[in-house]
Amino acid sequence: MPPRTHGPSLDAAGAGRKADVYAQGTFIRRSRRSPKGLLCARHEQRQNRWVKSRARTSIVAMLVIAACTSPHPEPRRTVSTPPADDVRILLSPAPRTCPLGIMRATRLPSSSLDKAADSHLPRWLPEGFGLIGAWGPPSQLGPDFAAQAIWADGQCREVDLTYWNRIEGVHEFPDKPRIGVWFVIADRSGACFNPVLGEARCLDYFAQPDSDGTRVQVAVSMMGLSRSAGDAIVRSIPT
């Protein structure tokens, strides 16, 4: 038999329902004994109804407050990169001149680079990188050579991209690791050098993607960059 109640309970949201049931039982038992028991039971019923009403009101108020104040999920943070159709950041000049080898192609205006490379340019470079120069045909790099570009930062770390707009045959390197369509041809510490940077890590990537039904070739060499940065750069190149 459930215990008698002597007043409102505020322990939980279900207290109102329990109090109502207990009050009904108390009303039946007391009404058989005396009018005083009947009056007390009715008084307890009114109290328990008030408790139940307040509990429901409190629950609704808490739900409304939670809906209004709970923070919205923040968008997932991503690496800050320029939009895929905006290469202006990639065409900004490098912060300094860096020593280059003998270039075997013709100087190309930076404004013509994206078109010459059929948009196969990185859409992300580490902070501080800028364009040293761009080159195009005529060249000594084969009849299908289309563009070359070199970016560098203040330490003369370099990213060198060469693009051929048509290639015969497909080269596979089954013993080399892959990053999507890219083969990692070389990853050697201390194998690269320039007079400003000194000895540095060498990274070489190679891909032959299909571009509008034509097999093209892109080679990217990097000096002084980590493997994770190199992978991020080639992943940002449309292929």
- CATH number for the domain spanning 180: value is 2.60.120
Sequence-distant (6+) residues with CB within 8 A of 136 are 105, 106, 108, 112, 116, 145, 146, 147, 148
Task: Output phi, psi for 127, to 5 deg.
Answer: -60, 140
Is 160 in contact with 174 (CB distance < 8 Å)?
Answer: no
3-state secondary structure 9-43: CCCCCCHHHHHHHHHHHHHHHHHCCCHHHHHHHHH
120, 237 Cβ separation under 8 angstroms: yes
Amino acid at 110: S
In a domain, 5, yes or no: no
* Residuewise pLDDT in 10s, the chain (239 residues): 444 444 444 344 444 443 343 333 333 333 334 444 434 444 445 445 544 444 454 444 444 444 444 344 433 333 444 444 456 778 999 999 999 988 889 999 999 999 999 999 999 999 999 999 999 999 988 889 999 999 999 999 999 999 999 988 788 888 999 999 999 999 999 999 999 999 999 999 999 998 888 999 999 999 999 999 999 999 999 98
Q: Which domain holds residue 163?
A: 89-235
Number of domains in the chain: 2
User: Are 166 and 59 contained in the same domain?
Assistant: no
102 is a domain residue: yes
Q: What local confidence, expressed as pLDDT, does residue 89 receive?
A: 74
Type of residue at 84: A
Co-location of 93 and 171 in the same domain: yes
DSSP-derived letter for residue 55 is H
Grouping H, G, I as helix, E, B as strand and the rest as coil, residue 173 is coil
56 and 132: one domain?
A: no
Query: How much is the pTM?
Result: 0.64
| 226 three-state secondary structure | coil
